[in-house]
Amino acid sequence: MRRLSYSFISIYFVFFSLFTSISHAQLPDFTDLVEDAGPAVVNISTTQKHQGRLGNMDVPQGVPDIFRHFFGVPQTPRSQPRGQDQQRASLGSGFIVSRDGYILTNNHVIEGADQIFVRLNDRREFEARLIGSDASSDLALLKVEASGLPIVETGNSEKLKVGEWVVAIGSPFGFDYSVTAGIVSAKGRSLPNENYVPFIQTDVAINPGNSGGPLFNLEGEVVGINSQIYTRSGGFMGLSFAIPINVAMEVVEQLKESGSVSRGWLGVAIQEVDKELAESFGLKKASGALVSQVVQHGPAADAGIQNGDIITAFNNKAVVLSSDLPHLVGRVRPGNKATLSIIRYGKAKNLTVKIGELPTQGTAVASNKPSFQPSASNRLGLEVTQLTLTQKKQWDTEGVMVSRVSQGSGANAGLVTGDVVTMINGKIIRDIDDFQKVVKNLRSGSVVPMRIVRRGQPMFIPLRVKD
């Protein structure tokens, strides 16, 4: 009996060991990947003169679910001459794409910086020069004076599959070269106010400081750039978003050539096709981008596109959701021709359009928003929208809400998305017309007081009007 028991135990341990070995064999080993690719990942820090500048992590009151860019935590400032107010802060990560010192990171990591510093895995440190940046894709290209640097291998993000393992390397909370892993959760995600990037969604643990860091596939190739997280708490909640490397490298080419990016423009306003609209247009399923407005004398108008057309494909790539169209159009160089597949009141048709260049002002490539578009004041680098009745009641104020901040006077003053502007230079702002009139009459080079309401709290901030 005892001999039988020993035999049973021996068989049990054999099967247990075999099962454990098989289970471990199915899990990927990231050690070689990290050892090979890690040296090309860098930590990025910057200095800014104005310590009191308000950060982009601020959000309007009453918004429980937000998409955040993620910044690092301040590090101890270096010794500096008395009287200077520069603060050294660790803001994010990046990676080297050429042996002569080109480095890719997020635009929001270096935006507004007076100096940019890059620290390598071997502890060498360089001051970097900004070659160019693009706020629309949240990308920036840096250059350090060095040679023989370690570089990453770039992959093809279009070949990435949902469910595939991916690895992130970065500096969350200042902990340099931390490695996290997960899988691709989805592809082609559209995020609020992000028209030109079909994001890769993953469940890789991403936190403040990972911004601009690489996302690798199991071949050790960079397939994305970690950019945003979806969170209610401000920290990682299982939803991370990366810019596809194919999109990023197209931007890099233009930044190298000119320091800026030009995008394709179709000249239409669009909306989603829901079940009821699909039925009314005689479609079998809700799919495509419904043209709600055509810009006069724009590329779409010249090609014969009409209000009510439903765009179902662009250059033979399906447009399933209306948000797919801006991604596709924006990546086409202005002047090139493209093929549009449309359905016009039940009849399929193909049109050829010569893509224009996205204007710096005016109508964007395509919009999923209703007809009340944000009003732009490029003089301040701001876009503002009219407060709704609910918002006026919630905050007990009149004014206009900042819907986007780009480089300019508004960014330098510390304005962030969600701020409500109520007064500029003693003039009360009740609506967009008031805002535009006051801004138009501001004297270049002057500094004026601006009253804003942030999360229900009123405050004045100085606004320096650029020339």
DSSP per position, 341-381: EEEETTEEEEEEEE-EEPPSSS--S---S-S-PPEEETTTT
Residue 126, classed as helix, strand or coil, is strand
Cα–Cα distance measured from residue 34 to residue 220, given in angstroms and rounded to the nearest whole number: 8
The reply to whether 104 falls in a domain is yes
Please report the sign of the dihedral spanned by the C-alpha atoms of residue 390, residue 396, residue 400, residue 401: negative
The reply to whether 366 falls in a domain is no
Q: What's the angle, vertex CA 109, arms to CA 167 and CA 375, rounded to 5?
A: 115
Could you tell me where the beta strands, DSSP code E, fall in 366-436?
Answer: 375-377, 382-386, 400-405, 420-424, 427-428
Catalytic one among 45, 90, 138, 227?
138
Which of 231, 259, 287 terminates a domain? The answer is 259
Q: What was the pLDDT predicted at 454?
A: 83
Q: What was the pLDDT predicted at 358?
A: 83
Residue 381: give its domain's CATH number: 2.30.42.10
Name the band, by pLDDT with cuts 50, 70 and 90, for residue 45.
very high
Residue 177: give its domain's CATH number: 2.40.10.120
Query: CB of 170 within 8 A of CB of 210?
Result: yes
Residue 367 clears pLDDT 90, i.e. is over it: no
Report, as an integer, the average pLDDT of 146-169: 95
* Percentage of the chain lying above the pLDDT 90 cut: 40
Q: What was the pLDDT predicted at 100?
A: 95
Helices (H), 26-148: 31-37, 107-110
Which of 259, 294, 325 terminates a domain? The answer is 259
Place of tokens 């247990």: 16
Q: What was the pLDDT predicted at 159?
A: 95
Catalytic one among 133, 171, 211, 367?
211
Strands 221-231 and 153-154: parallel
Together in a domain, 243 and 286: no
Together in a domain, 142 and 210: yes
The reply to whether 5 falls in a domain is no
Together in a domain, 101 and 133: yes
Q: What was the pLDDT predicted at 234?
A: 65
Together in a domain, 292 and 231: no
Q: What was the pLDDT predicted at 180?
A: 95
Catalytic one among 90, 108, 136, 190?
108
Q: What was the pLDDT predicted at 11?
A: 56
Q: What was the pLDDT predicted at 378?
A: 59
Cα–Cα distance measured from residue 277 to residue 148, given in angstroms and rounded to the nearest whole number: 58
- Which of 18-32, 47-61, 379-393, 410-424 has the least mean pLDDT? 47-61
Q: What digits encode the pLDDT tens for the residues 188-199?
A: 888 876 678 999
Q: Which two tokens stand for residue 339?
A: 């093929």
The tally of domains found in the chain comes to 3
Among 145, 130, 242, CA closest to 194: 242
The reply to whether 145 falls in a domain is yes
Which of 230, 259, 288 terminates a domain? The answer is 259
Helices (H) and strands (E) in the chain, counts: 10, 29
Q: What was the pLDDT predicted at 4?
A: 46
Together in a domain, 422 and 275: no
Query: CB of 139 within 8 A of CB of 212?
Result: no
Q: What digits encode the pLDDT tens for the residues 428-458?
A: 888 888 888 888 888 887 776 778 888 777 7
Residue 180, classed as helix, strand or coil, is strand
Together in a domain, 289 and 317: yes
Together in a domain, 166 and 282: no
Who has greater pLDDT, 467 or 445?
445
Name the band, by pLDDT with cuts 50, 70 and 90, for residue 6.
low
Q: Which two tokens stand for residue 434?
A: 């008031």
Together in a domain, 283 and 248: no
Q: What digits encode the pLDDT tens for the residues 152-162?
A: 999 999 999 99
The reply to whether 160 falls in a domain is yes
Q: Which domain holds residue 320?
A: 264-357
Find residue 310's DSSP bridge partners: 290, 343
Cα 423 off chain centre by: 30
Residue 363 clears pLDDT 50, i.e. is over it: no
Together in a domain, 114 and 143: yes
Cα–Cα distance measured from residue 61 to residue 40, given in angstroms and rounded to the nearest whole number: 40
Together in a domain, 182 and 125: yes
The reply to whether 363 falls in a domain is no
The reply to whether 175 falls in a domain is yes
Is 211 one of the annotated active-site residues of the chain? Answer: yes
Mean pLDDT (the chain, rounded): 80
Together in a domain, 174 and 218: yes
Report, as an integer, the average pLDDT of 114-136: 93
Q: What was the pLDDT predicted at 360?
A: 62
Residue 421 clears pLDDT 80, i.e. is over it: yes
Q: What digits encode the pLDDT tens for the residues 55-101?
A: 333 333 333 344 444 444 444 444 444 444 556 665 799 999 999 99
Q: What was the pLDDT predicted at 55?
A: 37
Give backbone dihedrals phi and psi of 164, rounded to 5 degrees, phi first.
-75, 145
Name the band, by pLDDT with cuts 50, 70 and 90, for residue 15.
low
Name the band, by pLDDT with cuts 50, 70 and 90, for residue 54.
very low
Is 138 one of the annotated active-site residues of the chain? Answer: yes
Together in a domain, 279 and 192: no
The reply to whether 142 falls in a domain is yes
- Which of 7-16, 57-66, 90-99, 260-269 has the least mean pLDDT? 57-66
Residue 373 clears pLDDT 50, i.e. is over it: no
Report, as an integer, the average pLDDT of 175-182: 92
